[in-house]
Structure 1
Amino acid sequence: MTRTLLVALLTVASTMASATIHRVNNAGIAADFTTLQDAHDAALPGDTLHLEPSGLSYGGCTFIKPLVVIGPGYFLNLNAGLQASSASAITGGLLFEAGSEGCVVSGLDVQGQTTVKASLVRVERCRFSGGGMNLNIAYNFAGLNLTGVVVNGCHVANNVNVGAGNSTVSDLTISNTYARQFNFATSGSTSGEMLHCVAVGAGSTALFGGSGMIISNSIFDGSVTPGASTYQNNLFSQAPVPATNGNQVNVDMSTVFVGGAGDAQFALAPGSPALGAGTGGVDCGLFAGAEPYQLSGLPPVPAIFQFTAPTSTDQGTPLPVTLGSRTNN
């Protein structure tokens, strides 16, 4: 670890030691703020913004300070019983500018173009949807030098785009993430790892351009341009790389997943060729590895998913309340 990176991490850790949690709600419930940008602007570095379930968007946000932003997840209507409410925390596009190093966003339903232009940003368990909206990392911006960006456990309806111009992206991690397309620019320099990812669906592609990524334990249904990356223990519907280093080519993708709707469709089917096909005998795909995909992007915090109590009781009589809670590490 470089001295600069160590200093940055220690700075973020020290600010979070005295962090405040701010409630954000625009559904008629009293809270500290009603928009994400207002909450960001008022918060101190290291504070946590808790976006509560709502049918209305909290709007977009430009981050210029390190914050933790937590929502309840997404696809909650398709995966019943995971949260007490099936509503998500919808936001507009997110922009991570200089000063936002150390930001963590988790469990959001992002419906807008999102761009990372700062190092040490972690985007986890978020859904990116909306027509033509993408998750971009140093994409279409020249002269950036980013390191330590992490994307984990996300569902990206369109593209994950990385690099452009003379920008450098190093120590990048994209793990346990679904996207229709992964695009790495042919210009610039990108290094890091991409593991336990899935690119399937209409028009799915993976263009690794000139990147020097290590790609492992992933599943690709569609066109893949291998570029300068290294491939280990992946499944391909075509044959972009030799069937060596544990890679399987010309795989019948109808045998890989259980199918269905939402994110549960990417669970491996019985007898799937992805079972045990990863490095060290782990499964390929979203639901394996050190940080497996969590259905509905449940953030890694405890959650109350059930609340039961009588509507009334006699005065002086204890009120029996039953709570159902779980951790979502």
Structure 2
Amino acid sequence: MAERVKVTIDGISIEVDAGTTILNAARLIGGDIVPPAMCYYSKLEGSGGKCRTCLVKVSKGSDKDPRPMPKLIASCRTGVMDGMEVQNITSPEVVEARKGIVEMLLLNHPLDCPICDQAGECKLQDLGYEHGSEGTRYEFERRTFEKIDIGDKIQLHMTRCILCYRCVYVADQITDHREHGILGRGDASEISTYIEKAIDNDFSGNVIDVCPVGALTDKTFRFKNRVWFTKPVDAHCDCDKCSGKVTLWYKGEEVLRVTARKDVNGEVESFICNTCRFERKNTSEWTIEGPRKISHHSVISSNHYELANPPAVIRKNPALKEANIEEFERVTRH
């Protein structure tokens, strides 16, 4: 059996396997003590350590060496030690540092929320709301880029990018070949392809799902609707390329988009192929499982699952409606 170690985060203790990072230990506890993460993705090897939003304070290194770590450390890259004590939201130093990180991420980020398709699902919006300042001290001209199409289904809006590298790792690890990457250095760095070479393979659409901001968007969904006006429904199909487990986003009886399902940490549970994502937008092509569970803290839960007005596909299937009445009522109560 794997060695178990005890770590205490914001006064809450938990035993985890040796080698577990502080961030993943906090995720096992759950709640408000989980540090935010813009670049780390548990399913992508090598991710993390770039955005610095997950910085925490280690007030006690371990039982063997109780000295505190001299600086704030990235929780996504630091493994726990037996007896380690960590401060996240209970440390004023961490809260202030996170405020500075958010300010830095927003230096060049445009105020596109009113027209950005990522609005309502944007992790940078969440960070700005929780840790951002009312104003900015930045007085210089923001960097801008032209929008480019990287394939016929994906648009890259580099002006919004925070260089988290997630899309690069996805292309490296779950597709046959990668056509895009980081060009330039320093403040001239950007995600791009040489001579706008198209990204075209069966799993390229997953770069959209892992992008934490609105830099990579689905061209088949752009400007069609606000996400909080749509109703997400879990569905599956028999697919020879991927698991076929998806979330369908309805407006009335129309499927506006198809995405991979995400877990409580906002990470894709199982990557899906482009056929499921872009080409199967008819209800008849799917087996409907029921309404997607959405946290009542999310703006996406607005207008969802009211018992008197469920998604059309649920309303037309009495068996599904009856099976999900308890879920309808639970969400409505919140």
| TM-score, normalization by structure 2 | 0.28
Q: Identify which of structures 1 and 2 has the higher relative contact order when contacts are C-alpha pairs closer than 8 Å and 6+ apart.
A: 2
| TM-score, normalization by structure 1 | 0.28
Higher strand share: 1
Higher helix share: 2
